Amino acid sequence: MVLRPSRVIAIASGCAALAGIAVAPALAGPESAPPPGDRSVVAGSAPAWAVPQAKVGDADGHTVRHIQVALALRDPAGAQVLAKAVSTPGDARYRQHLSPGEFVGRFAADDGTVNQVRSWLASQGVQVTGMSANRHFLDAQADINTLERAFGTGLSLFRHTIGGAVRTLLAPDTPISLPRELRGAITTVLGLDDSGKTLKPQHIAPATPASPGPLAQEQHCARWWAQSNNTEVPQRYPAGMQSNSLCGYNGTSMRAMYGLTGANTGTGAHVGIVGAYRSPTVVSDTNRAAQQLGVPQLNAGQYKEVLPDRFDEGPDCDPESWRGEHTLDVQAVHTMSTAAEITYYAGKNCGEGLDAAFNAAVEANAVDVITNSWGGAGEDSVPPATLDQFNSMALQAAIQGQTVLVSSGDAGNNSGILGRPGPQFPASSPWVTAVGGTTVGLDQGNNPRVLTGWENAGNTLVDGQWRPQQDKDGPFAGGAGGGRSDLYVEPDYQRGVVPDQVAGGKRAVPDVSALADSYTGMLVGYTDPRHGFYLGSYGGTSLASPLLAGLVADAQHAQHVERFGFLNPALYGMRGTPAVTDVVPQRAGVWTPAMHALPGAVVPGAPGSYLVDFDTRPQNLQSGPGWDPVTGIGTPRAGFVTALGK
């Protein structure tokens, strides 16, 4: 998971917890017979979906596979203690961050360990091709026959359903094993399975092009809350609380939503975006949209890209969706922090490429905030040992003072996908700030008429009445991810804040929230092969995470702070203050002639007459007083940028 010699292009315009946090036993998955006496099993190294009944065949043993051998930290417990200290206001070591070199010198695998692992891999016929600068990974390759012998397992093909589509993915038949003398040096091996293909961007794009003006009027959207309201359909809500769906907010409205002024520019801050693939038109799209939406264009050198040597554009990853995600993230960050520098770290694919891109952002330490608008369907879509390796990278980011933000997901409690409630990863990592979602209706003066949690329920007009739509998880029509982790125990910063009946001693998601509802979304300019350039109202927690990244950049500038680092200890200290709005349910809804499609929910795809109810608990998630599993402690308001971290 190291980006091979990357190029930086300047374009114009086991470490899963804080002190007091432990990892729960790995989720159930494939089992194996005891290995030979000189070998040790790596628990959690095979995905839970790789079970015998799902096996459809053996892998081609001659196929060459690229892998990343994950190296253990020397002192993970000490790293956790330090990360907590430098992130907690009031601690004597608050904001005394380490450089990447200092981190490697104190916590990364030493030369002896690296050489031992290299020698063993070579003895097995596995070719080492590189090592990440922070020594989290050795990059290697070999054919499948060689990898099976080296890691004591078989690699087979399994049938697995992703977002309703049946895919055939490679995975180990059983957890891998290692020589006992290496068990403390190697935590897992990434790339032996295709679980990364379950990772998806967390945005909701408009079904058809839309923009303010004549086209928007033809589609009946409202330019502000209740500016247009279809009175020919039943009115479920009081006057002023039912509106046509919004055309999408421009930059002026988005900044007003969070009380930003012209002085809040994020000058001097650096924001990193991690995603797969890249949009070749991202700069021209951003500048063209800026002209129409009241946002400054990108300055020369303000936007950069760190790219892999090549992209693997397989059909499983839906590259076009990732290109839309790339564009959304850049424009969301730039809208909120117009002068902040932005660097996009591109993964070669939606699998190990994402981890490689994230690690590139961490090891370079060139950005202050890293936003990640992607995730898997639940915590068991990727092997637990692989999740722990992400936590090791996030732990390094915290020690270096980098803020890591992650979208909480767009499928609510994920029951429509998994058949049971549960949050997604990496949002459930204790070392990231999970960003949930809100629905916001601003009036013509950009004052909030509606502010509630993003959990939508769909209704269809039938014989003059609204009838709830029905899917396997009821009328759910999109909403922020949330819930209780199966893997990670309750972190210190959530104790006494998250209700015990919700947490049950475990990490709960999300931590904070921002705008995510596409029916009240943000206008984004994007060029796609079918329509050319168009403006559309985008949503999803993929919008919420980069919006918060922009606010953090503004806070750095406003407070003359070099970096805030891991936010959660400071964020949870802000609950109940004027800088954060506590989000609660509000009776309101929108009429729309077309439902917005999204993963994890089945909604009508044909034009019609539909009503979307806001925050009515369509699954088991709803906002509420105090911390809640939709919006966390709440959503930023005016004053957030001057109060963060104090």
Q: pTM of the full predicted structure?
A: 0.93
Residue 418 near residue 378, CB atoms below 8 Å: yes
Specify if 305 maps to a domain: yes
Phi, psi of 353 (to 5 degrees): -60, -35
Tell whether 252 and 150 lie within a shared domain: no
Specify if 107 maps to a domain: yes
- As a whole number of angstroms, the distance between CA 549 and CA 572 comes to 17
Tell whether 146 and 84 lie within a shared domain: yes
Residue 509 near residue 421, CB atoms below 8 Å: no
Start-to-end Cα distance in the chain? 36
Show the domain range for 137.
22-30+37-195
pLDDT at position 219: 58
Tell whether 240 and 184 lie within a shared domain: no
Place of tokens 């693939």: 277
Tell whether 476 and 614 lie within a shared domain: yes
Q: Express each pLDDT in 165-217 by its tens digit.
A: 788 999 999 999 999 999 899 999 999 999 888 888 888 876 554 444 333 33
CA 59 to chain centre: 31
Residue 105 near residue 396, CB atoms below 8 Å: no
pLDDT at position 544: 98
Phi, psi of 22 (to 5 degrees): -125, 170
Residue 172 near residue 189, CB atoms below 8 Å: no
- Mark which of 162, 195, 228 sits at the end of a domain: 195
Tell whether 416 and 532 lie within a shared domain: yes
Tell whether 373 and 475 lie within a shared domain: yes
Tell whether 79 and 223 lie within a shared domain: no
Number of structural domains (the chain) is 2
pLDDT at position 216: 38
- Give the CATH number, domain containing residue 605: 3.40.50.200
Q: Which of 285, 281, 294 is nearest to 249 (CA)?
A: 294
Specify if 65 maps to a domain: yes
pLDDT at position 377: 80
pLDDT at position 582: 98
Tell whether 101 and 247 lie within a shared domain: no
Specify if 400 maps to a domain: yes
* Low-confidence residues of the chain: pLDDT under 70: 1-37, 162-164, 206-219, 599-600
Bridge partner residues of 459 (DSSP) = 468, 611
Tell whether 263 and 312 lie within a shared domain: yes
pLDDT at position 517: 97
Specify if 406 maps to a domain: yes
The one-letter code for the residue type at 593 is P
- As a whole number of angstroms, the distance between CA 533 and CA 522 comes to 16
Specify if 4 maps to a domain: no
Tell whether 250 and 180 lie within a shared domain: no
Tell whether 468 and 549 lie within a shared domain: yes
Residue 236 near residue 589, CB atoms below 8 Å: yes
CB count in 10 Å sphere of residue 444: 12
pLDDT at position 111: 97
pLDDT at position 14: 40
